[in-house]
Amino acid sequence: MMNLDRTNTPAGDDYATVYVAFELSKAKWRLGIILPGARKMSRYTIDGGDTAGLSARLSQARAKAASYGKPVRILSCYEAGFDGHWLHRWLMDQGVISYEVDPSSIEVNRRARRAKTDRIDLDKLMRTFLAYVRGEPRVCSMLHVPTVEDEDRKRLTRERERLLKERTAHSNRIKGLLHAHGIRDAMPMKRGFIESLATVRTGDGRPLSRWVKEEITREHERLCLVEKHICALEKTNTAELRAAAPGSAEAKVIQLADLKGIGLTSGQKLVNEVFYRSFDNRRQVGSCFRADRHAVSQRHKPARPRHQQSRQPAGSRARRRTRLAVDHSSARQRTDALVPRARGQDQGPHPAHRHCSARAQTDGSAVALSNDRRSACGRRAASSLLNSRGQ
């Protein structure tokens, strides 16, 4: 079987390469295609989600590229967003080497009056993709597309986070309505809360009016429904963890929960959001999480006058969900190094970094979740879970 995934091979030597860029929207998809030897990019528009029309365009491009008498490969890219990962999987099934670009990693023009259209965005995406394929450093970041099982498992933690936000919103709304009438220290989840509304008095001594009371009642019903869903979801998660098979993702959550500072919820979030990826060394682990901290610090800096910020938020949403701080484990928890040491790394602290402790660079340790920045500054190893993907 021919190996198609050879992006470092020059297109003019072994392959007739077709480059495809997508500008996706709900109604229309705009395609940019560069054929072998072409100087300009051809543009096409198809209906959003029209895989039959897309397959026809890819077949035409493949037939034209085959006239060069070389094996044909198609490289495609699109910005990760509303369409998710299904298009990436469909393209891979069609023999296309697909990439998903992190939109926030693409450099944009920061001028105050920057023109922005789908045509300009498609040109920018194609130029960025060609630079990435040529091997230029720090052009953009490509996503690690999870498997269908890994993506589905993320719903456990993400739905719970969304429900917690909804519960807080409903509770704050009820408290706000009562506070506006001079009623303080309300407890919406207390038993008999709705019945107590008939006896409460406003700040000026009047009973609650009819429509305020009915609005609070309906808001309380939505609050109780969200609370019911949270309890059902947590009960399901607990049952899944109790029936965890050896080597499964649930078993990794239980293993993480044995470490100090990580509970079942935090361990489940780490496994579902981070540990589906494979890390080759410590530098990749550090770059995955320290990049988020740098992006957050840059996002809070004030913008210069007459310059607008990028339309995409800095950093990855998945990185913002979890913060990895590395801490040493106890003698009972210590195992082998979680990830292999990077090449060329000394066993002790480098002379240029004598302010760093030797323990932070030589100790193989476990993973801990912490909000303390001082504990997050040390470079330590992560868990053997990082390299046990899919096992």
**Separation CA 309–CA 303 (nearest Å):** 7
pLDDT at position 279: 73
| Range in 24-38, 188-202, 347-361 the model is least confident about | 347-361
Is residue 376 pLDDT above 70, yes or no?
A: no
pLDDT at position 30: 94
Work out the average pLDDT over 205-217.
93
Question: Does residue 308 or residue 236 have the better pLDDT?
Answer: 236
**Separation CA 346–CA 344 (nearest Å):** 6
Taking the CA atoms of residue 76, residue 77, residue 80 and residue 81 in that order, the dihedral angle to the nearest 10 degrees is -80
Q: Residue 228 to residues 171, 223, 237: CA-CA distances in angstroms?
A: 14, 9, 14
Among 3.30.420, 3.30.70, 3.30.920, 3.30.460, what is the CATH number of 16-134? 3.30.420
Work out the average pLDDT over 249-269.
74
Work out the average pLDDT over 241-260.
79
pLDDT confidence bin for 11, thresholds 50/70/90: very low
Is residue 273 pLDDT above 50, yes or no?
A: yes
pLDDT confidence bin for 327, thresholds 50/70/90: very low
pLDDT at position 349: 46
| Range in 34-43, 135-144, 217-226, 303-312 the model is least confident about | 303-312
Q: Which residues contact 183 (CB under 8 A, 6 or more apart)?
A: 200, 201, 202, 203
**Separation CA 285–CA 386 (nearest Å):** 9
pLDDT confidence bin for 294, thresholds 50/70/90: very low
**Separation CA 6–CA 15 (nearest Å):** 10
Is residue 173 pLDDT above 50, yes or no?
A: yes
Is residue 121 pLDDT above 70, yes or no?
A: yes
Is residue 372 pLDDT above 80, yes or no?
A: no
pLDDT cut 70: percent of the chain above it: 68
Tokens representing 273 are 């959001």
Three-state SS sequence of the chain: CCCCCCCCCCCCCCCEEEEEEEEECCCEEEEEEECCCCCCCEEEEEECCCHHHHHHHHHHHHHHHHHHCCCEEEEEEEECCCCCCHHHHHHHHCCCEEEEECHHHCCCCCCCCCCCCHHHHHHHHHHHHHHHHHCCCCCCCECCCCCHHHHHHHHHHHHHHHHHHHHHHHHHHHHHHHHCCCCCCCCCCCCCHHHHCCCCECCCCCECCHHHHHHHHHHHHHHHHHHHHHHHHHHHHHHHHHCCCCCCHHHHHHHHHCCCCCCHHHHHHHHHHCCCCCCCCHHHHHHHHHHHHHHHHHHCCCCCCCCCCCCCCCCCHHHHHCCCEEECCCCCCCCCCCCCCCCCCCCCCCHHHCCCCHHHHHCCCEEECCCCHHHHCCCCCCCHHHHCCCC
**Separation CA 246–CA 254 (nearest Å):** 10
Is residue 144 pLDDT above 60, yes or no?
A: yes
pTM score > 0.85 for this model? no
Domain ranges of the chain: 16-134, 148-242, 249-301+319-387
Token look-up 């299904």 returns: 86
pLDDT at position 248: 84
pLDDT confidence bin for 362, thresholds 50/70/90: very low
Work out the average pLDDT over 99-127.
86
pLDDT cut 90: percent of the chain above it: 43
User: Under a CB-based contact definition with an 8 Å cutoff, are residues 234 and 156 in contact?
Assistant: no
Q: What is the per-residue pLDDT across 40-86, written as a single tens digit (0 to 9) for each?
A: 999 999 999 999 999 999 999 999 999 988 999 999 999 999 999 99
**Separation CA 369–CA 259 (nearest Å):** 10
Work out the average pLDDT over 267-272.
72
Is residue 288 pLDDT above 90, yes or no?
A: no
pLDDT at position 383: 43
